[in-house]
Structure 1
């Protein structure tokens, strides 16, 4: 496909990027320490950590990992919210030449154990508040090394004691569970400080992250994102936003979890390259506390998903914030609704730039130009050094303006799926990654997503795959058949609706939802269940989810 989008780049945005500016993400951090040592890297609960402090503590943590006999290439699971321990541990793992396995702390034991087993993780860094889930997961997927931390562990002495006391004894937020082979995070840092850390040789093609994503079969797969993949996407984001980023040192609101690949690239890596500051929000659901922290810290950049932006707009305190320095607002993970984008512009004076990405693409593929003057309703233009195609079922390019499956090619495309050659083969066509999303492109190069070939459900920016929900529902002894679909919802983008054929007439909606709560993360739990005499099927007996969805939308 002709790269017609290049003519609509802002004049300062290049057509290509240098994916090899750094040899590894470790080079990026060490360069930041040299150039920005005294600058504030992170703010958490009012405490400040400089680049020099993050570099030192991450080096100590890398030394600890080496001191217990772990080797380059080992996989280390990281299960933390947005607290100071997260970037320290993350960069410590990378500096030891090991691979970060990001784990959603809200996973159920079933989901967590699958990821730990599949990745072959040999150690895990986890928040003690999630000990109960971790304990159950480790009964299935035992791990030799466990590093536990409390929320306040990396805060100043007085604040650390206060925060940890309140969470443990006042809020009762830490289960009374112990692990035989666990060490406290702060103890690991102290132990690592006594060890002579040896920096391993890290090559661009080494795996930096195993970033797990769902699949059409419902089986979670680990996308192998190399150091070069991540650095390429960093350079692409920097090229797209650079004209604004270069004006000043940036301060970004990091409410999206850093275990989410969008925040990992934009909020973490891009800010390190800029020498900017990241305001860590540990619990964005606590809007009152979040807005207080935002009020204390003048910010220039914010990222989020439609539900987060919508939630902010409903808070009176949000409208009292000072937006005079706000320059860039980026929405990803799910479509940004027009009414939210318009209300955001009125409240802040800054456009919401909708973008599009996939875990398999590190993740950024396309984004609206920083200088747009109106809501486009599209995912924008492909980022520099990225090629796209729209193809039909015969893998032939469709005419401009016609709908076709979006294929992507570029240096940010993953190495493949971890230990899953068949899934890699299914999604890759040579250098092209088949996204499974159906899109159109106009004569300006702007892309619009019109459907999802994979029938994925998008809830608050998180991928939910129907078959995973169906697999759980079908385990209920009173269920004969089940189909999960996504229906539009103003708050979450889509809600999960399950259509069920009963095996036992006594089955109720409440029973199914309660059953799902035992086996699924919160955002994967169905919000609506309806019962049917039968479900529409193809001539080979496959349940036609799309037909079900069409029926409900018609109503």
Structure 2
């Protein structure tokens, strides 16, 4: 395979990263806390947790899981927490106990939670009290022997923690009634001052560390088995890719994306943790006023987000009061970055966004634009260190330069497979170790990748291929459109037709104006036949539009295009 992309790496970035620095996440954790023990590891709601404090708290949790709850190596532990200090304690506590983390979206409904708990076979769940009512409903249908409950203020110090919990329960009254009689309390497990003996576990790079469930945009979520080696590989690859940022002082970085998602957990936290950084945890990024206020309190060295987050922040009046003088890099992932959003962010902050590409099955990232200051090309960049990418036609043959085809990835970050789904695993992993992603891209002769769309999202209109993302990009250039997503619906005349779903920025915007705007940049068969105005677009927790759900919504509204 020709690796033309290597010539375009930033100076000093090697073809291969040293992904074998640590044998496991356990070894990495112990080496890192010994090195940075007095540095702050995480910050939340004004409270800082040093590396040494994280070491002690996670050791107590690991002891409880192995010796008090009698869990065995390889047992699964679900974590259903937002971005609070409890999350890194829980994650590293589970890993240090030789157990497997199952990340759970705290906003799941009871049926969604039931599926994931049943599919993973979780023996324990660590959950925020706010979501216990949902868990209680799920426990009627699935057995989870152990429940550990924490409250928002549990890691904020005695006085502030008690006040926070009182306000949440008694003043704001945002905790629905629940009753799980056998629940263990987080404070009694983690906050004891007694020293504990950390379990001595034997885990290696090939052992499972995470069951990371996919977003479920194409059906029931599947658990990708990510090993200790997979997780460390992606974190260390990114450390090599961004080595020029410098971490001598222990950088401060913003963690606004949910930690139960691989993008934030692996590509931000574990990557920066190894380097001695301090993550500013944002529990509720939908509270833009609170998020911007927190950004104003810190001099952030790096920021990661999804396009919808950058779009919302660029429109917030307080963003211009944030001190970005030390910000070296803003990264985007989770969904394609429309040029209009990148331009809006640059206009508001003076900063460029480095776009990348990845998915759960590769523990985060597989391609990224270089860090160096270059003229942006509007794509997802080059394959990162230690990673090979092939673009293949439907018949499996290699695509020509600039010819769209399916992305296939091989590297140390590629998952072991889907949990308990050998047929699905065999469908996406070939004999050479390449993962079929279902995403369509074109690779130029110099190895640069431009994402086209999801293979399953592609529409065929009158025999022509239409990629909804191309339509999205055009629609978002209209100043009166806040959000937009195109979907394909059945059509008797053309097989399928494009419908544009739009969230207005200008309340006077009309369907005719949107269609006229699209006609200026799109050939006739790509122009939306109808426009549906919505209050919001359905999205995954990291801001990726759920086109399947959107298509169902359009059909429910009876919005099939008329001849």
- Which residue matches 2:301? 300
Distance 2:346 2:23 in 1: 39
- C-alpha distance after superposition, 1:78-131 (max 9, x if no partner): 000000000000000000000000000111111111110000000000011011
- RMSD over aligned Cα atoms: 2.8
State the number of aligned residues: 495
- Which residue matches 1:146? 147
* TM-superposed deviation, 1:176: 1.7
Alignment partner of 1:451 out of 444, 450, 453: 453
* TM-superposed deviation, 1:347: 2.8
- C-alpha distance after superposition, 1:447-471 (max 9, x if no partner): 01112113399xxxxxxxxxxxxxx
Unaligned 5+ residue runs, structure 2? 460-467, 477-481, 493-536
Structure 2 residue 58 is the aligned partner of structure 1 residue 93: no
Unaligned 5+ residue runs, structure 1? 458-484, 502-516, 536-547
- C-alpha distance after superposition, 1:202-241 (max 9, x if no partner): 1111100000015686121100000000111111111111
Change beyond 3 A, Cα 1:456–1:174: farther
* TM-superposed deviation, 1:181: 1.0
TM-score (norm 2): 0.83
* TM-superposed deviation, 1:349: 2.7
Mapped contact 1:37–1:51 kept (Cα < 8 A): yes
Distance 1:305 1:205 in 2: 30
Structure 2 residue 410 is the aligned partner of structure 1 residue 409: yes
The residue correspondences of 1:367-406 to structure 2 (distance < 5 A) are 367-406=368-407
Distance 2:80 2:483 in 1: 24
- Which residue matches 1:232? 233
- Which residue matches 1:29? 29
Distance 1:178 1:194 in 2: 31
- Which residue matches 1:358? 359
* TM-superposed deviation, 1:249: 2.4
Distance 1:401 1:9 in 2: 20
Q: Which has the higher contact order (CA 8 A, sep 6+)?
A: 1
- Which residue matches 2:499? none
Change beyond 3 A, Cα 1:192–1:65: farther
- Which residue matches 2:350? 349
Structure 2 residue 116 is the aligned partner of structure 1 residue 125: no
SS of the aligned residue for 2:242 comes to: helix
The residue correspondences of 1:190-269 to structure 2 (distance < 5 A) are 190=191, 193=194, 195-214=196-215, 218-246=219-247, 248-269=249-270
Structure 2 residue 112 is the aligned partner of structure 1 residue 111: yes
Mapped contact 1:500–1:531 kept (Cα < 8 A): no
* TM-superposed deviation, 1:379: 0.5
The residue correspondences of 1:478-489 to structure 2 (distance < 5 A) are 488=472
- Which residue matches 1:494? 485
Distance 1:418 1:528 in 2: 28
The residue correspondences of 1:532-551 to structure 2 (distance < 5 A) are none
* TM-superposed deviation, 1:66: 1.0
Distance 1:171 1:526 in 2: 33
Distance 1:320 1:63 in 2: 45
SS of the aligned residue for 2:153 comes to: coil
- Which residue matches 2:496? none
SS of the aligned residue for 1:126 comes to: strand
Distance 1:533 1:230 in 2: 43
Change beyond 3 A, Cα 1:201–1:528: closer
SS of the aligned residue for 1:371 comes to: coil
Mapped contact 2:247–2:277 kept (Cα < 8 A): no
Change beyond 3 A, Cα 1:342–1:531: closer
* TM-superposed deviation, 1:196: 3.0
SS of the aligned residue for 1:435 comes to: strand
- Which residue matches 1:7? 7
